[in-house]
Amino acid sequence: MAQGFSLKDQLFNAEKTRYLAELFAAAEPGFDASAFEAQVMARLPELELKERINWIATCLAEALPGDLPEVAPVILRALPPPLDPSLSDDDFGDFIFAPLGEWAGAVGLDHPELALDVIEALTQRFSMEWAIRLFLNRWPGEVLDRMQAWCDHSHYHVRRLVSEGTRPRLPWGMAVELELTAPLPLLDRLHGDPTRYVTRSVANHLNDIAKKEPELVLKQLAAWREEGRQKPEELAWMTSHALRGLVKGGHPGAMAMLGFDPDAALEVAIALNGEARIGEALEFDLHLTAPERQPVLVDYIIHFQRPGGKVSPKVHKLKQAVIDGGALKLSKRHKLKGNATTFKLIPGPHRLEIQVNGRVRAGVEFDLKA
């Protein structure tokens, strides 16, 4: 049987390990590339992705022992040229350099200024958003001061690190002990950046904040709209991306900022088409009517049965459109996968609801068949 795609094997493997070993062998004559490769590969296949990063960092620290003042010159000499600074997106870098950030954190926590110099260089080869958080928690003032300078850096990967490294809910990243408002002056400077790689990070950062302080995010976006430092179309994209979590939850302020009236006069009729069966699909038609032209953001919510009689509502995007001419017709076929490993479907009574501009406007019960 053919094996499925393995991200960890694509990013960290014998070929990547050899590439890293060759870089360090060229930078430091005493570095034993063969021994390093053998040590890494002895355990690499049994480890998960994040564990592989930590293991390679451990092997590097053992091959080149010493604190950061001793090993930083070797790290910097080993680095290949920076990623193309003329690009603006979709150039994340090579994961094989992620262990260098973990290594710098392990041996450089008592040397914050030098560590930030190293991280500044490393992030131009692969994002150091995980590594920087260790220093943020130990040296918040020093790191935030350096980030002020990084906001004007010529390389967009360094500018992005300012936003991405301070995110409250960074995937895979350790928690940071900053107040939610602490990075806002940095985001204020970055929101006008000309590169999507940076503005996407700013929007993701605001989406994180919105989970706890939605009004703070709405206020910040409104201020940026008034300032006009970002292109209107880019700020509109950032606003939509930053508010996606609030929109999914039907937050009226987020809806209004995006131009959708939660209290709009409109009606929704639902027509189910056939039976809903596990392994097949839930099919339905919608008929939306309004007395006047109305922009609408239409979502649908399926209330799934869970073990023990609990119910789990899941919000799904359907359509952003305009009711023009009095009516709008939409159709949807939602696949009901029976072999999903993350969410097991349970036969029985379910409910479908239609949410328009953040408000539930109609609902209907249906029976999910096995």
pLDDT 10s per residue in the chain (370 long)? 335 568 899 999 999 999 999 999 999 999 999 999 999 999 999 999 999 999 999 999 999 999 999 999 999 999 999 999 888 887 779 999 999 999 999 999 999 999 999 999 999 999 999 999 999 999 999 999 999 999 999 999 999 999 999 999 998 888 999 999 999 999 999 999 999 999 999 999 999 999 999 999 999 999 999 999 999 999 999 999 999 999 988 899 999 999 999 999 999 999 999 999 999 999 999 999 999 999 999 999 999 999 888 999 999 999 999 999 899 999 999 999 987 777 889 999 999 999 999 999 999 999 999 9
Q: Decide yes or no: CATH 1.10.1060.10 for domain 66-242.
A: no
The CATH homologous superfamily to which domain 267-369 belongs is Immunoglobulins (2.60.40.10)
pLDDT of residue 1: 32
The predicted structure's pLDDT at residue 4 = 58
User: What residues does 327 pair with on adjacent strands?
Assistant: 289, 324
- Every domain of the chain with CATH number 1.25.40.290 lies at 66-242
Report the distance separating Cα 112 and Cα 230, nearest Å: 33
| Residues 176, 257: Cα–Cα separation, whole Å | 29
- Predicted TM-score (pTM) of the model is 0.88
Contacts of 311 (CB under 8 A, 6+ apart): 303, 304, 305, 351
**Residue of 77, 197, 224 whose CA lies nearest to 129:** 197
Domain boundaries for CATH 2.60.40.10 within the chain? 267-369
pLDDT of residue 173: 85
| pLDDT score for 6 | 86
DSSP conformation letters of 24-65: HHHH-TT--HHHHHHHHHHHGGGS-HHHHHHHHHHHHHHHS-
CA distance 86 to 174: 31
Provide the 8-state DSSP code for 83.
P
pLDDT of residue 325: 87
